[in-house]
Amino acid sequence: MSATRSPKVSERVAPKAADPQPQKNNRDEDDGPDFKTLLHAWIESHRASLLDSLRRLGKQPIGSFFTCLVMAVALSLPMGLSLLLNNVERLGGSWQRAAQISLYLQLDASASEGEQLREQINALPGVAEAEYISREQALEEFQQQSGLGEALKELPENPLPGVVLVTPKEVDKAALEALRQRLSEMPKVQQAQLDLVWVERLAAILKLGERFVFGLTVLLVSALLLVIGNTIRLHIENRRTEIEVIKLVGGTDSYVRRPFLYMGALYGFGAGFLSWGVLAFGLNWLNDAVTGLAGLYGSNFALAGVPAADGLSLLLGAVLLGYIGAWIAVARHLRELAPK
């Protein structure tokens, strides 16, 4: 009887011992989800956080709009001043013309020698433009501007020399002095005159304007961080109970932080877009008065609008400020959001 039972026992035991499939499944389950699944879950989490932030901002359209508008005004001030400085720089053609070097030629220098000297100076590396004014042209302009036309006609000969006006490429005191010294040593040049005092004043004005814009930018950026931080803090307080429940069931800090970061970035995007529009409208509004004033002086000067590169930089900077402000606010209050 024992001989007849042994085959049946072996038949019952052998299939279980010979089947390795369950062990393989257990190893696969221990490895966890693959990279594709994790990536899909990460994208889905960010998408859900972005949609949740948009939905919450949409529930308070007036409050969200005014928050973006306050940020837009703060962003518009430094950018607007910077654009106005750039337009003022274009007003006279270029600031370099204010630092022209006047070369007074000798009285015996002919018009052809003056033209040759102008071409020679115009080829120098530090010169942007050179203009020759002959003795006859200088006398004619002096007669018209001084009102002494009849008296000057009684002179036996023209007392004014020919002049070469040299416009440098850059306004730098040391470079201008070196260029003036080099030009004064050229043939037929009797005197090379440069108003260094005006150059120093011009450099001081530009430096003052740059420092003022920089200081205003720092103050307004700090104010923007405070505004966005306080706004995000109010959103955190309104969702305190919800956040405590999320952390109670195992939600991570990054999961809790993510919707508020998107909210700060959305505030920044809205503020940057509004600021771009405010600057474009403001410059267009001022342009009517500027063109009217320039027309009275026989000029066709007009304010330039907001360049696309500057507008995009403003938009990206506003988004970054909103993101940073939200990060600071959440990091400050995240320790207080532990479940009680």
Per-chain mean pLDDT for the chain:
78
The pLDDT tens digits for 71-117 are: 898 888 888 888 887 777 666 444 556 678 888 888 888 888 888 88
Phi-psi region of 196 (alpha: psi -120 to 50; beta: other; left: phi over 0): alpha
What phi, psi does 21 have (nearest 5°)? Answer: -60, -45
105 with 117: CB under 8 angstroms?
A: yes
Both structure tokens of 268: 């920044």
What are the boundaries of each domain within the chain?
Answer: 45-93+202-337, 97-195
The conformation of residue 300, written as its DSSP 8-state character, comes to -
For residue 269, pLDDT beyond 90:
yes
Strand order in the sheet with 127-133: 127-133, 163-168, 101-105, 189-194
3.30.70.3040, 3.30.365.10, 3.30.1370.60, 2.70.98.10: which CATH number matches 97-195?
Answer: 3.30.70.3040
| Residues near 100 by beta carbon (within 8 Å), at least 6 away in sequence | 165, 166, 167, 168
The pLDDT tens digits for 123-181 are: 888 888 888 988 888 777 777 666 665 666 666 677 778 899 888 877 777 888 888 88
- pLDDT at residue number 267: 92
Q: What is the DSSP string of 1-16?
A: -HHHHHHHHHHHHHHH
- pLDDT at residue number 274: 93
- pLDDT at residue number 289: 84
With 0-12 / 13-18 / 19 or more C-beta atoms within 10 angstroms meaning exposed / middle / buried, residue 3 is exposed
- pLDDT at residue number 152: 61
Tell me the average pLDDT across 314-338.
Answer: 83
For residue 2, pLDDT beyond 50:
no
What is the bridge-based pairing of β-strands 163-168 and 127-133?
antiparallel
Tell me the average pLDDT across 293-306.
Answer: 75
- pLDDT at residue number 295: 77
With 0-12 / 13-18 / 19 or more C-beta atoms within 10 angstroms meaning exposed / middle / buried, residue 334 is middle
Instruction: Find the range with the poorest average confidence among 22-26, 232-236, 266-270, 276-280.
Output: 22-26
Give the pLDDT band of residue 31 (cuts 50, 70, 90).
low
With H, G, I as helix, E, B as strand and everything else as coil, classify residue 308: helix
